[in-house]
Amino acid sequence: MLSGWEALPESLGTYSADIDKLFWDITWLMTFSFVVSTFVMIYLFGAFTRKEGVKSLYVTGESGKQLMLIYAPLALFVMFDMYIDVSTAAVWKTVKTELPKGDVKVHAIAQQWAWTFVHEGDIAVVNELHVPAGKVVHVELESSDVVHSFSIPIFRLKQDVIPGRIITAWFQSKDFAAVKAGKKNHLTRYEAGKGQGTVLAPPADEEGTASFDLQCTEMCGVGHGIMSARIILHSQESYDAWVASNRAEQSEVSGDDAPAEEAPMEEGAAEEAAPAM
Ligand SMILES: [Cu+2]
């Protein structure tokens, strides 16, 4: 049973509410169109069914009244289309064609079936994207094998990741206090043996962080279903501390006087050195 079911996840990005508005506009326009056309069709089946002693009509659709019946609904649907096209174009421009100046840049490498995020200071982490809340983040997306899709549901961001190209996606979360206040305290997700839609408590956040789902949304092979990751939004202080401590750890790993086998390797840290950017 889907207890705790919600239509959409939290909306915590600067443009996520615009995308939700488009989603609901299109949903209601299509629902209206579907319901009206279905009822008209059912009515016509009954009204114009074969009747004893009544000859069928030969309708050419040329009289003024008949033309009205054709063009009035057509005009209505064209208006719906125009409304959707115009409002979509405005949001598309914001999300996809205009890249605002970035505060933070992350390089993301998709492969079957994991994400490697190379943060500032060459901090490479597998399946964990760390960013400061409230800042414009540029994510340079690259694939080392097949087409993947980078998706962060709370921002309503989706971007295909294409081998041979580097595509820059961007997002900006609400500020940290708003993110914390907006985070729902449950996740509806799959857990083996319990079935789809099981309500689970999310993993506990560390002080100064809030974590959310990040996933691949392109069928990219047999392990596609396990290609999920986390985005960890930090308060500015927490982010600065995270960068400082991980940068120090990484330089210890690569330092001449620190033998690699003694260097602490954080769980989830990349096995290999960060690729040159
Ligand atoms: Cu994938």
Predicted local distance difference test score (pLDDT) of residue 30: 94
User: How remote is the CA of residue 178 from the centroid of ligand 1, in Å?
Assistant: 30
User: How remote is the CA of residue 130 from the centroid of ligand 1, in Å?
Assistant: 20
User: How remote is the CA of residue 240 from the centroid of ligand 1, in Å?
Assistant: 30
Q: Output DSSP code: residue 103.
A: S
User: How remote is the CA of residue 265 from the centroid of ligand 1, in Å?
Assistant: 26
User: How remote is the CA of residue 216 from the centroid of ligand 1, in Å?
Assistant: 5
Task: Tell me how far apart the alpha carbons of residues 202 and 184 are, in angstroms, rounded to a whole number.
Answer: 9
pLDDT, tens digit only, all 277 positions of the chain: 344 456 788 899 999 999 999 999 999 999 999 999 999 999 999 888 888 888 887 888 888 898 998 899 999 999 999 999 999 999 999 999 999 999 999 999 999 989 999 998 889 999 999 999 999 999 999 999 999 999 999 999 999 999 999 999 999 999 999 988 888 765 555 555 555 555 555 566 788 888 888 999 999 999 898 888 889 999 999 999 999 988 877 666 555 554 444 444 444 444 444 444 4
Domains of the chain and CATH, by start = 16-97 (no CATH), 104-262 (2.60.40.420)
User: How remote is the CA of residue 144 from the centroid of ligand 1, in Å?
Assistant: 11
User: How remote is the CA of residue 112 from the centroid of ligand 1, in Å?
Assistant: 6
User: How remote is the CA of residue 221 from the centroid of ligand 1, in Å?
Assistant: 7
Interacting residues of 120 by C-beta distance below 8 A, sequence separation 6+: 104, 105, 106, 243
Strands 167-172 and 136-143: antiparallel
- Taking ligand 1, which is a single-atom ion, which protein residues have CB atoms under 5 Å away? 148, 216, 220, 227
| Residue 43 burial class via C-beta count within 10 angstroms: exposed 0-12, middle 13-18, buried 19 and up | exposed
- Quick check: 229 and 116 in contact, CB under 8 A? no
Predicted local distance difference test score (pLDDT) of residue 271: 45
Predicted local distance difference test score (pLDDT) of residue 121: 86
